[in-house]
Amino acid sequence: MHELIKYQFNTRRKKYGTGAALSLLNGNVGREVLAFHKKLPNYAVTPLHNLAHLSRRLGLGSIHIKDESWRFGLNAFKGLGGSYAVGKYLADKLQCDINSLSFAALNTPEIKEKIKDCVFVTATDGNHGRGVAWAAEQLGLKAVVYMPKGSSLIRAENIRHHGAECTITDLNYDDAVRLAHRMAQTKGWVLLQDTAWTGYEEIPTWIMQGYMTLAVEAYEQLAETNSPLPTHLILQAGVGSFAGSVMGYFVEKMQENIHNIIVVEPHQANCLYQSAVMDDGQPHCVTGDMATIMAGLACGEPNIISWPIIRDNTSCFISADDCLAAKGMRISAAPRPGTDTPFISGESGAIGVGLLYELMNNMHYQDLANRLQLDASAHVLLISTEGDTSPDIYEDIVWNGRSA
């Protein structure tokens, strides 16, 4: 029988203060990152939608979802990580403090002369590469982007729109990362990759820190509206950089008041779920084409920086069918008229909504929902990490009923 949901409760979750260090993701770092982003062109706080009708219908205390389709005009959150990593790299190169650095200062003739030969290279399914290309474009610098086979042509064109050189390869995501790494070594380019491995850890840490801006904003938005702070986080994962960043911030901020953290991945690229199943405390990889509509999550090798954070703080690892992402997209786009605000959530952004709906409506998963304490006392925070980054795919799913 094909399961829509496979799950593994985490036997290695630690009490607050006894697991992997979270000092690089604490509130002070988050405020520093947010201050940097506020200096960037087109910065604005992205919406936090209160899905009050959906929460009542599902029998939950509240559901809030952060809508990152509005971020920097890029239709996804990834520009946060790429821009902060570019800023940190250039601050180091110029021997100055990032707190005193802005993209306006980096565009002065004196500094532009010092950084003009920098070329940034990365691999991406689309969103991260577009974020890197956009950040480089703001400074008149070059970016080179490699995409895995099967990548959306529209996503590639969006990257080229920012002046980057973009190639769709015949490789899967993880091999495209290896290609970007080789090219950086051969050409003397700067690798800006949103995953880490032994010997390549500093820049991925900066990228994870860059993602903290959305977590800081969400926390402040909840506080400013006197909304309940989350008891539950549902975070989607590819390599785990985003999930590790957001959970790290909230765990450090709220400590044991976060009752359950759920990490969800596609069945075809469930490396964190498989690592939890192996239960030896180590990250494990999955291989193959990883063909999923959740292109942004089609990653088979966990980030070694985020893995200890995820291992020590996640309550439950879930592997989900593509149809749940499709369901989440439709629910987000078409709530009952006159109830919740409709919004556009892409394939990788909507899996949290689809998963939550399935857990609360399918009797087959009632025991799982109960074990996760998803009831009237639960206040759930979700992040819609992208909008319709490939409009043709979005329409095919939302209008035509495609589910895989």
Distances (CA, A) of 41 to 33, 104, 219, 311: 15, 9, 23, 36
Q: Are strands 165-168 and 142-147 parallel, antiparallel or unpaired?
A: parallel
From 66, 67, 78, 312, active-site residue? 78
Distance (Å, whole) CA 265 – CA 376: 26
322: annotated active-site residue: no
Residue with tokens 């690798």: 191
Distance (Å, whole) CA 158 – CA 134: 10
125: annotated active-site residue: yes
| Buried b / exposed e along 215-254 (16+ C-beta atoms within 10 A) | bbbbbebbeeeeeebbbbbbbbbbbbbbbbbbbbbbbbbb
- The C-alpha R_g of the chain, in whole angstroms, comes to 20
Q: Provide the β-strand partners of residue 319.
A: 6, 265
Contact (CB, 8 A) for 108 and 140: no
> How many Cα atoms occupy the beta-carbon half-sphere of 97 within 13 Å?
4
Contact (CB, 8 A) for 120 and 94: no
Which distant-in-sequence residues (6+ apart) come within 8 Å of 306 by Cβ?
A: 196, 208, 239, 240, 241, 243, 244, 245
Give me the phi and psi of 143, to 5 degrees please: -130, 145
Listed in sequence order, the DSSP H helices in 230-350 are: 241-254, 271-278, 306-313, 322-333
Contact (CB, 8 A) for 10 and 317: yes
127 burial type by CB count under 10 A (0-12 exposed, 13-18 middle, 19+ buried): buried
From 66, 67, 88, 125, active-site residue? 125
Contact (CB, 8 A) for 250 and 25: no
Active site residues: 78, 125
